[in-house]
Chain A
Amino acid sequence: MDGLLKVESLRKGQILDNVSFEVKPGEMLAIMGPSGSGKSTLLYQVAGMDEPSSGKVWLGDTEITGLSEDGKAKLRLHRMGFVFQQMNMMANLNLLDNILLPAMQARRKTYSNMTGRQGESRMTKSELEIKAQRLMQKFGIANLGSRKITQVSGGQLQRACICRSMMNAPEILFADEPTGALNKSAAQEVMEVLLGLNREGVTILMVTHDSKVASCCDRILYLLDGRICGELVMGKPKPDCQKQREEKVNNWLMGMGW
């Protein structure tokens, strides 16, 4: 199978209607569409957070739609990462503890994933902390670990959220409007982080409203009334051509009735 993530004839009530697509390993795919088109619903079904009415979803060789609730949970813990629009952090934990949360749960159990990284799931808390600190340093929030989530900016919080999603080294990262709640500069910072991860080989599936954000992706799918109505292949971004990419996306979107 070529695709890392494969979606086949997916339906969810009246919201999604026969949606099929693939995400290749290392690809960064954006899903766009007007409000109410079913973007977020599609993301929940694909990530195994909700049960579709019909259709199938595979991650690698694993059919997500055939798994039990607990099976899906394990899959999310070990093989998927999530970045949310509202960041979704625990208010009663500090930033570092929030980042460590899924990793602390994952280290308790051995889990063989596709790449056979069994050893990592048994790391001690101090080892995990070192790993978290390394990620935090990489994303520019190294000194904020002890802060409460109310004591950091939106951009910093979203970067912490990305740190959390990367702690278990997922095969795919799902991002639901990752810059939706951020100002321009913070959104820019977060996009740079996500692009950096994608360059390192992390597969990303992102839902966005922002054409500028979508223009950074390899491919864009346009969703309207629960159906995929269009596809724009962009390829990997190259230096100094961002403006052209943005224009291309905007023109395409205008053509789609955006």
Chain B
Amino acid sequence: MIIKLIMNDIKQNKLFSGMAVFFMAISSMLTVLTVLLFSGLLGAIDGLMGKAQVPDYMQMHAGTLEPVEISHFVGQHEEIRDWQICRFLNLDNSRITLGGHSLADSTQDNGLSVQGERFDYLLDQRNDKPRVLPGEVYVPSCYRIQYSLAVGDLMEIGEQELVIAGFLRDAQMSSMMASSKRFLVSEADYERIRQQDGRNAGVSSAGSTYHIMQEEYLIEFLLRDGTDTNAFGSAYAAAGLPANGPAITKPLVRMMNALSDGTMGFIIFLASIVVLLISILCICFMLSLQLERDRKDVGMLKALGVGKVQIRRLYMAKYLVFAVCGAGAGFLAAVLLSSPLERQIRELYGEPDSGLQAIISGMAAIAVTEGIFLFFILQFLKRVERLSALEALFSSREQGRKAGWKQSLLVGFVAFACIFLVLIPQNLYTTMSDPAFVSYMGIGNSDIRMDVRQTADIEGRTERMCVALGEDVRILKYVALYTKSCMVVLPDGRTSHFHVETGNHTIFPVNYLEGEPPVGEKEIALSSMNAEEMGLSVGDRLRLLTNGEETDYTVCGIYADITNGGKTAKAYQVGEEAPVVWSVLYVSFKDDAFGGIFSRDGSVEEDSSKGELSRESVAKEAWMEQYRRMGADVIDIADYVKGTYGQTLEQISLASKVAFGAAISVLVLVVVLFMRLIVEQRRYSLSLYKALGFTAWDIKRRYFIKGMLPVAIGIVAGFLLGNAYGEGICGIVLQSFGAERFRFVIDLAEVSWIVFWLLLTAMAAVWAGIAEIRRIKACECLSGQD
């Protein structure tokens, strides 16, 4: 009997039933998709990191190295489980071609490496350790998609040729946020290419010797479980061991891997929350309408003596059927959609965990989602329990203004949530693709950044470059900042190594979360990570040990930074004697530096007729090459941002398209549904209007305005609040990238298009929803008011 009742009810209310299943399915789909993406990503990363045996602590170093010193250090530290020194031959990007594509524009440090002896393995596409034969090379898998490479293609390094034998998964450096990329070659090829460099070394125009390739060392440690990597890093630095490059820890590697691919998951998670909220509201509202409609039937059942539990069971059984249908459809859709969305995860980290665990997680997500629906439905059904048989039979229906207000509020809220959902990823994309975004990450907002590192004469080279820049007519302004190594005196009296970037920080200022850049001699600004670790805020004092003397500095500002492990400081000047460990030059061009208006967004300008790089781009590349020959690593900031966040931006772009599609679908469905409901609810009144002589157009015009008003208010409110408060939500993502307390960069033209499309869609939806008005007959009202 129950089945018959349910089936008849579904047949009679196809629209209600279809919408309920749709809302349950779309919510399930998004939550399952979130779970599948996150569990797939984390599973794949952990799987790869486990198989590759990523070191717990890795210190990069260029220059001379005494393994005996490190061996001695290892002997004194029981927490070290294993250690090794890997070599990395840093190549000149302009001399590399992959399958005929030059890497000259690459912002990555590309270099050769041999397989790790004891751990830190470079794995192939099956996550196995590949055997590389002489003359072969394994290329980082991120380049496979980028340059459409295939096995058998050639890699050229100057005159040397290597055949691509496969593609690599590098657990440490797969993410584009990791600035280096390792190419795996045989020991013989590594040595041959390294020795070739010695013969190719030349003398620059400034008179200094430069090498095309530079060998670096990765000093890697596996630590026992429970070891504090930060404390270990401090111990390493205190031992005075080789450390003129960045140090990386295993959690940082894991975070970088997860972040560059987790943003899409985060946006889909955000979408799933909003859609779930909308769906619950819509289903509860539909249920309330249905209860009003069934009021007399319920009264009759109660009068006949049917218990409240049985009546509730009748409704619950129906929604349980809907939940099962919705869950099935949602799961299926999520599985189908997850495949293209996991493409990058598969490429970089291997097959995501799509086994039993992922299925169980997906099922659990579905159970939770549908459970939330059923819980709210149950709460709603308690209204029926409170209703007496007499009330149900004889009281009037809750039509009119109260119900109308609820509908308008709901439709307005849905429109608000939809535009909010679209604006957040869109603004996140605009913000992160803006060249000024680097200022949130500890990098000055300039056109070019030049790094002078890992060379014997850092100060000399920097000074010569400053002279050259001073004479360069293309330059608008530049600044040289020297990073010096000093000791900081901690509150407990201990000292620790500390890097301070000195120079004029007001020319290309980074974004300060608090305070201002240092201008006075005794002022210092700290990165947020350093300030947090030392428990310091603006106005506090910090004691540095320079020239054998302790000097107090006042913390004048705190800034966000992700460079050099996030632990940096900036001062106008620290002790003269402190050794310079590296220097950075920031440069900006005049507008017509290369014969035309220089493209600030870093887009590659092409001559459309020939399909070649424009003269401006060629001139700029030649200019950069000139400074590279002076011994600096020269990068275009816009290219750097694209190179570092390109993948993430692509994902955000994809996610914002998914969000836009979801928002449009939800808005159309909800608006059509509610306009249809309003028309159905007021069918009697509308028929009466017609009987009294109102034309269908008169009535449709009123209902169009009635329907559009809450939608338009919702869209405008969502537009204002999404732009104003969306920053807070995106802060969660961007803070993970190191960019704290950022301001949204809003592309008004783009956002206006979104608003325009949503409004247009809403108008079409309202119009479609009230189409039924034309079909209502004037005589319908004569058959009574129920």
Chain A: residues with CB nearer than 8 A to chain B?
A: 40, 44, 47-50, 69-70, 72-78, 80, 82, 84-86, 88, 90-92, 101-102, 105-106, 164, 168, 176
Q: What is the bound-complex CA distance between A85 and B779, given in angstroms? A: 13
Given known A86-B784, A86-B785, contact A50–B691 (CB-CB < 8 A): no
Q: What is the bound-complex CA distance between A168 and B694, given in angstroms? A: 13
Given known A75-B693, A88-B691, contact A105–B782 (CB-CB < 8 A): no
Judge whether B785 and A76 touch: CB under 8 Å: no
User: How far in angstroms is the closest Cβ of chain A from B329?
Assistant: 39
Asked if B313 lies at the interface with its beta carbon under 8 angstroms from chain A, I say: no
Judge whether A91 and B400 touch: CB under 8 Å: yes
Closest chain A residue, CB of each to CB of B698:
A105
Judge whether B694 and A73 touch: CB under 8 Å: yes
Asked if B603 lies at the interface with its beta carbon under 8 angstroms from chain A, I say: no
Find chain A residues with CB under 8 A from B685 CB: 90
User: How far in angstroms is the closest Cβ of chain B from A63?
Assistant: 18
User: How far in angstroms is the closest Cβ of chain A from B548?
Assistant: 88
Find chain A residues with CB under 8 A from B396 CB: 91
Given known A49-B778, A50-B778, A86-B785, contact A69–B693 (CB-CB < 8 A): no
Judge whether B695 and A74 touch: CB under 8 Å: yes
Q: What is the bound-complex CA distance between A86 and B780, given in angstroms? A: 12
Q: Which of B693, B774, B777, B784 contacts A105 (CB 8 A)?
A: B693
3 shortest A-B CB distances, which residue pairs?
A77-B693, A49-B778, A49-B779
Judge whether B785 and A88 touch: CB under 8 Å: yes
Asked if B394 lies at the interface with its beta carbon under 8 angstroms from chain A, I say: no
Q: Which of B401, B691, B694 contacts A49 (CB 8 A)?
A: B691
Judge whether A70 and B697 touch: CB under 8 Å: yes
Q: Which of A88, A91, A106, A176 contacts B693 (CB 8 A)?
A: A106
Known A-B contacts: A72-B778, A74-B695, A80-B693. Give 8 more (CB < 8 A).
A49-B691, A49-B778, A50-B777, A84-B782, A92-B401, A102-B694, A105-B694, A106-B693
Find chain A residues with CB under 8 A from B785 CB: 86, 88
Q: What is the bound-complex CA distance between A101 and B782, given in angstroms? A: 18
Judge whether B692 and A82 touch: CB under 8 Å: yes
Find chain A residues with CB under 8 A from B693 CB: 73-78, 80, 102, 105-106, 168
Q: What is the bound-complex CA distance between A50 and B776, given in angstroms? A: 10
User: How far in angstroms is the closest Cβ of chain A from B664?
Assistant: 33
Question: 24 interchain pairs (CB within 8 A)?
Answer: A44-B778, A44-B779, A49-B691, A49-B777, A49-B778, A50-B779, A69-B695, A73-B695, A76-B691, A76-B692, A77-B693, A84-B781, A86-B785, A88-B691, A90-B685, A90-B688, A91-B396, A102-B694, A105-B692, A105-B698, A106-B693, A164-B692, A168-B693, A176-B782
Judge whether B696 and A73 touch: CB under 8 Å: yes
Q: Which of A40, A80, A88, A164 contacts B781 (CB 8 A)?
A: A88
Find chain A residues with CB under 8 A from B696 CB: 69-70, 73
Q: What is the bound-complex CA distance between A72 and B696, given in angstroms? A: 11
Closest chain A residue, CB of each to CB of B774:
A69
Q: Which of A40, A69, A82 contacts B691 (CB 8 A)?
A: A82
Among A48, A70, A73, A75, chain B packs the most CB atoms within 10 A around the CB of A73
Q: Which of B695, B782, B784 contacts A44 (CB 8 A)?
A: B782
User: How far in angstroms is the closest Cβ of chain B from A137?
Assistant: 22
Find chain A residues with CB under 8 A from B688 CB: 88, 90
Find chain A residues with CB under 8 A from B781 CB: 84, 88
Find chain A residues with CB under 8 A from B564 CB: none
User: How far in angstroms is the closest Cβ of chain A from B295?
Assistant: 15
Asked if B399 lies at the interface with its beta carbon under 8 angstroms from chain A, I say: yes
User: How far in angstroms is the closest Cβ of chain B from A42?
Assistant: 11
User: How far in angstroms is the closest Cβ of chain A from B272?
Assistant: 39
Asked if B690 lies at the interface with its beta carbon under 8 angstroms from chain A, I say: yes
Identify which of residues 739-786 in chain B touch chain A, using a CB-to-CB cut-off of 8 Å.
774, 777-779, 781-782, 784-785
Judge whether B697 and A92 touch: CB under 8 Å: no
User: How far in angstroms is the closest Cβ of chain A from B777?
Assistant: 6
Find chain B residues with CB under 8 A from A106 CB: 693
Among B692, B696, B697, B777, chain A packs the most CB atoms within 10 A around the CB of B692
Find chain B residues with CB under 8 A from A102 CB: 692-694
Find chain B residues with CB under 8 A from A77 CB: 692-694
Given known A70-B695, A73-B696, contact A91–B782 (CB-CB < 8 A): no
Closest chain B residue, CB of each to CB of A51:
B777
Q: What is the bound-complex CA distance between A74 and B694, given in angstroms? A: 7
Given known A102-B693, A105-B693, contact A76–B401 (CB-CB < 8 A): no
Find chain B residues with CB under 8 A from A105 CB: 692-694, 698
Q: What is the bound-complex CA distance between A102 and B694, given in angstroms? A: 8
Find chain B residues with CB under 8 A from A50 CB: 777-779
Q: What is the bound-complex CA distance between A73 and B685, given in angstroms? A: 15
Q: What is the bound-complex CA distance between A168 and B692, given in angstroms? A: 11
Find chain B residues with CB under 8 A from A176 CB: 782
Identify which of residues 150-168 in chain B touch chain A, using a CB-to-CB cut-off of 8 Å.
none
Judge whether B782 and A73 touch: CB under 8 Å: no
Q: What is the bound-complex CA distance between A47 and B778, given in angstroms? A: 10
Judge whether A73 and B400 touch: CB under 8 Å: no
Given known A70-B695, A105-B694, contact A76–B782 (CB-CB < 8 A): no
Find chain B residues with CB under 8 A from A85 CB: 782
Find chain B residues with CB under 8 A from A101 CB: 692
Q: What is the bound-complex CA distance between A101 and B685, given in angstroms? A: 12
Q: Which of A73, A80, A92 contacts B690 (CB 8 A)?
A: A73
Closest chain B residue, CB of each to CB of A77:
B693
Closest chain B residue, CB of each to CB of A170:
B693
Q: What is the bound-complex CA distance between A15 and B696, given in angstroms? A: 27
Q: What is the bound-complex CA distance between A91 and B684, given in angstroms? A: 11
Q: What is the bound-complex CA distance between A78 and B784, given in angstroms? A: 24
Closest chain A residue, CB of each to CB of B399:
A91
Q: What is the bound-complex CA distance between A40 and B784, given in angstroms? A: 13
User: How far in angstroms is the closest Cβ of chain B from A133?
Assistant: 20
Find chain A residues with CB under 8 A from B400 CB: 91-92
User: How far in angstroms is the closest Cβ of chain B from A129?
Assistant: 18
Closest chain B residue, CB of each to CB of A48:
B778
Find chain B residues with CB under 8 A from A69 CB: 695-696, 774
Q: What is the bound-complex CA distance between A69 and B685, given in angstroms? A: 17
Closest chain A residue, CB of each to CB of B684:
A88
Q: Which of B399, B697, B698, B778 contacts A76 (CB 8 A)?
A: B778
Closest chain A residue, CB of each to CB of B402:
A92
Find chain B residues with CB under 8 A from A44 CB: 778-779, 782
Find chain B residues with CB under 8 A from A90 CB: 685, 688
Find chain B residues with CB under 8 A from A84 CB: 781-782
Q: What is the bound-complex CA distance between A105 and B695, given in angstroms? A: 10
User: How far in angstroms is the closest Cβ of chain A from B771?
Assistant: 14
Q: What is the bound-complex CA distance between A90 and B684, given in angstroms? A: 9
Q: What is the bound-complex CA distance between A176 and B400, given in angstroms? A: 26
Q: What is the bound-complex CA distance between A92 and B688, given in angstroms? A: 14
Q: What is the bound-complex CA distance between A106 and B695, given in angstroms? A: 11
Find chain A residues with CB under 8 A from B695 CB: 69-70, 73-74
Q: What is the bound-complex CA distance between A40 and B400, given in angstroms? A: 28
Find chain B residues with CB under 8 A from A75 CB: 693
User: How far in angstroms is the closest Cβ of chain B from A204?
Assistant: 17
User: How far in angstroms is the closest Cβ of chain B from A159?
Assistant: 17
Q: What is the bound-complex CA distance between A72 and B692, given in angstroms? A: 10
Q: What is the bound-complex CA distance between A105 and B699, given in angstroms? A: 11
Closest chain A residue, CB of each to CB of B397:
A91
Find chain A residues with CB under 8 A from B401 CB: 92
Find chain A residues with CB under 8 A from B692 CB: 76-77, 82, 101-102, 105, 164
Q: What is the bound-complex CA distance between A3 and B273, given in angstroms? A: 68
Closest chain A residue, CB of each to CB of B404:
A92
Judge whether A40 and B782 touch: CB under 8 Å: yes
Closest chain A residue, CB of each to CB of B778:
A49
Find chain B residues with CB under 8 A from A80 CB: 693
User: How far in angstroms is the closest Cβ of chain B from A100?
Assistant: 11
User: How far in angstroms is the closest Cβ of chain A from B399?
Assistant: 7
User: How far in angstroms is the closest Cβ of chain A from B34?
Assistant: 44
Find chain A residues with CB under 8 A from B698 CB: 73, 105
Closest chain B residue, CB of each to CB of A71:
B695
Given known A49-B691, A77-B694, contact A88–B778 (CB-CB < 8 A): no
Closest chain A residue, CB of each to CB of B777:
A50
